[in-house]
A and B are shown apart, each in its own frame.
Chain A
Amino acid sequence: MKKHILIVDDEAAIRNLLAEYLTRSGYRVTAANSPIEAQQAVEQDPPLLVISDLQLADSDGLDMIDQLKTTLPNTPMMLLTGVLFDPKVVREVLSKKVSCYLQKTTPLSQVLGEVKRLIGPP
């Protein structure tokens, strides 16, 4: 059984590209474009990892992550956003909420490396 990853991003191009790459890498991927879809996906098929954008159309990515943690307390959460944070902010704020923070300009191979670090190979 392939490991399941949930991607949440309101930008279809970003969402589809990341889903395609992770699927080619051997993972099973579910893509959601809003926190509501993400919640439904989690209830139907709990993932081993959640990758989310910060600024979503309907909500805040960090708020959504807080909500998902009530259902998936031990599931690692990855924040993948175009918002550039100061390293101090990342260290002192984001690291308490998410397992990993990556900028969207990060190469996909590096994203995959972080995925493998968090949940292992597919």
Chain B
Amino acid sequence: MTSQPKPTAARDKTVGRMLGVFLLISAVVIAVAVTSVRNINRSVASSDWVNHTHAVMLEVNSVFSSLQAANVAALTFVATGDGRTQAAGREAFSDLAEHLEVAKALTRQEPLQHEQIVHLEALANRRADFDRGVLGRPPPERPEAARALAAPDASAEAMDEIQRAVAKLTDQEMALLAERDRASFLQAQTTRWTVWSGVALDILLLGGAAWLIRDDIAARRLAAATLEEANNQLETKVRERTAELAAANEGLTTENLERRWVNQALEHQLRYDQLIISSISDMVLVVTKALNISRINPAVVRLTGREAQELIHRPVSAIARLTERAGGAEALLLDPLAQALAEGHDLREQAAMLEDKLGRKIPVRLALFPLRDRDKVVGGVVILQVIPQVPPPAP
């Protein structure tokens, strides 16, 4: 008999493994999700920063553009005296101030940039003050006066300095943008690797779980098949044993019936035989080979007045004796009975005298029949028939 693993223990082990695998899968999914969300947040932050940087660069360039527009308006005003250029100049100043305020606001959290913006503001305001002064005067009527008006303008140098400041600031921002771009690329790459690694690991774990499930199903099928086979074997054994017991029970019942039948038949036979003997009104005595009485019928008790216990194992001569035929006198003549038994022949019509319990003598006819058992005389049957007394003829 082979030992089979206990199904419950195997099931518990499999459940434990499955739980472990799914916990691992869950941990990987959570780790991937956390990493991805963090990188997405970083990307969003980078995107905000890029937008912010572009905004700063745009504002700085707009400052320069506004300043150029104001300068052009001032020079045009000096050259043409056209009053419309004053309005254009005022608009340029307004734009300049707005762009400077926006730029300062954008760089408020970044001291280095903010300082550069403040420096740029100082340069721009100085230049703007000059242009504002040109535009605020009456238009010159002569060319000399116009040149005199524009002479203090160190516009070329001032604008160059402003342009350099703008370019420096822009270059710094571009460098930062490039750095952020690399960082963003690395983050994206990390996110990609994290996601794909997580997916691959989860696929591997799911494969492991599938293998465990398949293994568990196979084990369960094997256990079920083994259990079913064991049940079938047990049922077969139970059926066989039940059939054996039923057959044995049937046999015992039949045997019991046969025994009861035999006993009943023997009892019936004995009772019937006893009935036959008891029904005979003559005295019937069964004697042993030694002529001792072994059995009597009721007629003996009735006619002798003696009970069975008084007669059993007593010699038959105690109650009956043969009489001499010739003389009629009583004589002890038992030898003929013994001789008849010894020789195995019948005696019939023998005159005898019966003596009852009160000592009365009753003339009887005696017959003796040897009892044979397998051709061997084992005793005899004595029948005593009372001779009816004929009353003497009336005188």
Q: B264 — which chain A residues lie within 8 A by C-beta?
A: 11, 13-14, 17, 104
Q: A24-B253, A24-B254 are in contact. Are A104 and B269 (CB under 8 A)?
A: yes
Could you say which of A37-45, A62-70, A86-94, A105-113 contacts chain B? A105-113
**B185 CB to nearest A CB, Å:** 98
Question: Is B269 within 8 A of A82, CB to CB?
Answer: yes
Interfacial residues of chain B within 240-272, with CB under 8 A of chain A in the complex:
253-254, 257-258, 260-262, 264-266, 268-269, 272
Question: Please, which residues of chain A bring their CB within 8 A of the CB of B268?
Answer: 11, 14, 82, 104
The distance in angstroms between the C-alpha atoms of A92 and B266, with both chains bound, is 27
For B261, what are the chain A residues with a Cβ–Cβ distance below 8 Å? 17-18, 21, 107-108
Q: Which B residue's beta carbon lies closest to that of A21? A: B257
Q: CA A106 – CA B258 in complex, angstroms?
A: 10
Interface of B: prevailing SS: helix
Say whether B269 contacts A17, CB under 8 Å: no
Contact A17 B254 (CB under 8 A): no
Complex contacts, A11 vs chain B, CB 8 Å: 264, 268
> In the bound complex, do residue B272 and residue A108 qualify as a contact, i.e. CB atoms below 8 Å apart?
no
Bound Cα distance A17, B261 (Å): 7
A107 with B254: CB separation less than 8 A: no
Task: For the complex, count residues of A whose C-beta is within 8 A of B.
Answer: 17
Q: How far is the CA of A119 from the CA of B262 in the complex (A)?
A: 24
Which residues of B in the span 124-183 have a Cβ within 8 Å of any Cβ on A? Answer: none
Q: Which of B258, B261, B262 has the most CB of A within 10 A?
A: B261
- Give the number of residues in B that approach A within 8 Å (Cβ atoms): 13
Smallest CB separation, B150 vs chain A (Å)? 145
Q: Are A105 and B266 in contact (CB under 8 A)?
A: yes
CA of A13 to CA of B263 in the docked complex: distance in angstroms?
A: 11
Query: Can you list the 10 inter-chain pairs with the closest CB atoms, starting with the nearest?
Result: A104-B265, A105-B265, A82-B268, A108-B261, A21-B257, A13-B264, A108-B258, A82-B272, A82-B269, A17-B261
Q: A11-B268, A14-B268, A82-B272 are known contacts; what are 14 more A-B pairs with Cβ within 8 Å?
A: A11-B264, A13-B264, A17-B261, A21-B261, A24-B254, A83-B272, A103-B265, A104-B265, A104-B269, A105-B265, A105-B266, A107-B258, A107-B261, A107-B262
Write out, one digit per residue, whether chain B residues 24-37 have a CB within 8 A of any chain A CB (1) or not (0).
00000000000000
Which chain B residue shows the least CB distance to A20?
Answer: B257
User: B254–A105 contact, CB under 8 A?
Assistant: no
CA distance A43 to B135 in the complex (A): 153
Provide the A76-106 mask, 1 if CB < 8 A to any CB of B, else 0: 0000001100000000000000000001111
Which chain B residue has the least Cβ–Cβ distance from A106? Answer: B265
B41 to chain A, nearest CB (A): 93
Q: CA–CA, A18 to B272, complex, Å?
A: 19
Nearest chain A CB to B277 CB, angstrom units:
15
Q: How far is the CB of A39 from chain B (nearest CB, A)?
A: 24
Q: List 16 A-B contacts (CB under 8 A).
A: A11-B268, A14-B265, A17-B257, A17-B261, A17-B264, A21-B254, A21-B257, A82-B269, A104-B264, A105-B262, A105-B265, A106-B265, A108-B257, A108-B258, A108-B261, A109-B258
**Roughly how many angstroms separate A53 CA and B254 CA in the complex, as a whole number?**
22
* A105 CB contacts on chain B under 8 angstroms: 262, 265-266, 269
Give the CA-CA distance A13 to B260 in the complex, in Å.
Answer: 9
* Closest CB in chain B relative to A26 CB, distance in Å: 12
Q: How far is the CB of B80 from chain A (nearest CB, A)?
A: 141
